[in-house]
Amino acid sequence: MSTALVLQMHRLGDLILSFPLLQYLHRHTPCHTVWVVAEPAFFQPLLSIAPSVTFFPAAQGEALAASQPFHLGINLSSRPASARILGGMQADRRLGLSEQSGSLRVDGFWQLYRQALTQNNRGNPFHWSDLNVLDLAPDADIHAIGHPLPRPAGTGRVGLVLGASEAAKHPSPHFWARLARRLAASGHMPLFLGGEAEKPLGRETARLSGLPQADLCGKLPLDALVGVMRRLDLCITPDTGPMHLASWLGVPVLNLSLGPVHARETGPSSPGQWVLRAAMSCTGCWQCHHGRLSCHGLFTAPAVARVADAVMRHGDGLLLEPPALPAGLELFRTERDDLGLHRLRPVGARRACVRGPLEDFWQAFFLTLYAPSRLPLLEPALAALAASPLPVSRLMGGLHAICLACARHVSGRTPLPHDFWRDHPPLLRLVAGFCQMWLENAQTDRHQQERLLHGLHGLVTQLKQL
């Protein structure tokens, strides 16, 4: 009996984002058994809603990996221990970061792509839940996974998830309090949601709003939070673990995408959800380098309350009659494209911006680099990019220069500098970082080096002909 072992030892949100992969492994691969190594504090309360796999505590990971040969090993964690476990296990195929004979390497095109996003995700068009699956899904078609569609419970309750993994990613108690009062005045019932770490946020928000009965922060174990979320008409939330939980449960979500987060990368992964974000060029950053979080100031309680009320009253009707938004905010609807990949659909008029066309171009570029049969995706993506404010000639010139630099590196004439990807403008860092990671990963493997050069050269040549 073939068995897959998946190592996922990160937080709640990361575990839930791996659920589509676990579902795909269970339903659409030769693996009859799927074992998952994760943190018990997160997986045990979610057993009733998780895919049909077997979970094991992270502390048992090493012993479990040594217990038998595996058909497939996948490491979705960045912990050194998980890399050692994957490198030491006997598996027909490995995906992700592993440590073997004291050296680190990444197996899998898309797992390597994701590793290259560290500090370098500007323009990334792929959602993390999709990157978990793409090395396994044939021809990048992941429709077979299936995603829950949002359905309001009809209770009038609105969950406000107050916190996130860092302060820069969530609004202040003053914002939440003003929003809660407006929602209550419109006939909705706000509930303040969060774990033990959010108890101070909950107390302060309850005090400022005058709604002490709404504060559930730190009062609900995770399995009880699942039950409460299923009774919501809407969950208003920053980018955080409970947001992914709500999306997985089919709870309607309004994601306030603010701070150093990228909604196309880690926003709600299911189709039919809503994302509100700042219309700023730096939106989607890995880490804020400004003196203050300017994106926070664009999210006002009146504006968010209007959007939330419109979402609950009109749902999909907003695609035809978008709500009025103040300058500086953009609304999106999550959806799945023809390949089953996550994307953001603008709702209403959108400012002239290169961001969307550039992300779509990079998606077509990397899909074609991975599978040349996807070449037809490039022409419409390049045409849309040419209609944007971006000078395409600059992009083509940069790609050609990256291709030449990689060729010189492989020939031994000029090694890539340590900060090769940083030496390129933000426009090109996504592909420069990927190429640098690939060549570092390949080291002396000439076949893998030539594979990158052949694919990159062919792609640049095709682009020049379009």
Whole-angstrom distance, CA of residue 387 vs CA of residue 357? 9
* CATH, domain 157-351, list 3.40.50.2000, 3.40.50.300, 2.40.110.10, 1.10.1270.20: 3.40.50.2000
User: Structure pTM?
Assistant: 0.95
pLDDT digits (tens, 9 = 90+) for 303-335: 999 999 999 999 999 998 998 898 889 999 999
Structure tokens at 265: 């990368």
* Tokens matching residue 96: 């992700």
> Which CATH number describes the domain made up of 3-145?
3.40.50
What's residue 248's pLDDT? Answer: 97
Region(s) of the chain under CATH 3.40.50.2000: 157-351
**The pLDDT value given to residue 175:** 97
Phi, psi dihedrals of residue 154, rounded to the nearest 5°:
80, 25
At CB < 8 A and 24+ separation, what contacts does 243-248 make?
Answer: 243/13, 243/161, 243/268, 244/12, 244/13, 244/16, 244/17, 244/268, 244/269, 245/12, 245/16, 245/46, 246/159, 246/161, 247/148, 247/150, 247/273, 248/16, 248/19, 248/49, 248/148
Interhelix angle 241-249/222-229, nearest 10 degrees: 50
Distance, CA of 266 to CA of 274 (rounded, Å) = 13
User: What is the full DSSP assignment across 216-285?
Assistant: -TTTS-HHHHHHHHTT-SEEEE-SSHHHHHHHHHT--EEEEE-SS--HHHHS--STT-EEEEE--TTTT-
Pairing mode of beta strands 103-107, 94-100: antiparallel
- Region of residue 281 (left: phi > 0; alpha: psi -120 to 50; beta: else): alpha
Each residue's pLDDT expressed in tens, for the chain with a length of 466 residues: 699 999 999 999 999 999 999 999 988 888 889 999 999 999 999 999 999 999 999 999 999 999 999 999 999 999 999 999 999 999 999 999 999 888 999 999 999 999 999 999 989 999 999 999 999 998 888 888 888 999 999 999 999 999 999 999 999 999 999 999 999 999 999 999 999 999 999 999 999 999 999 999 999 999 999 999 999 999 999 999 999 999 999 999 999 999 999 999 999 999 999 999 998 778 878 787 777 778 888 899 999 999 999 999 999 999 989 988 988 899 999 999 999 999 999 998 766 678 899 999 999 999 999 999 999 999 999 999 988 888 889 999 999 999 999 999 999 888 899 999 999 999 999 999 999 999 999 987 999 999 999 999 999 999 988 7
Residue 106: name the closest of 58, 139, 133, 73 by CA: 73
Output the pLDDT for position 351: 67
Edge-to-edge strand ranges of the sheet holding 274-278: 189-193, 157-161, 234-237, 253-257, 274-278, 329-336, 342-346
Return d(Cα 179, Cα 371) in angstroms, integer: 47
DSSP structural state of residue 150: P
- DSSP-assigned letter for residue 48: T
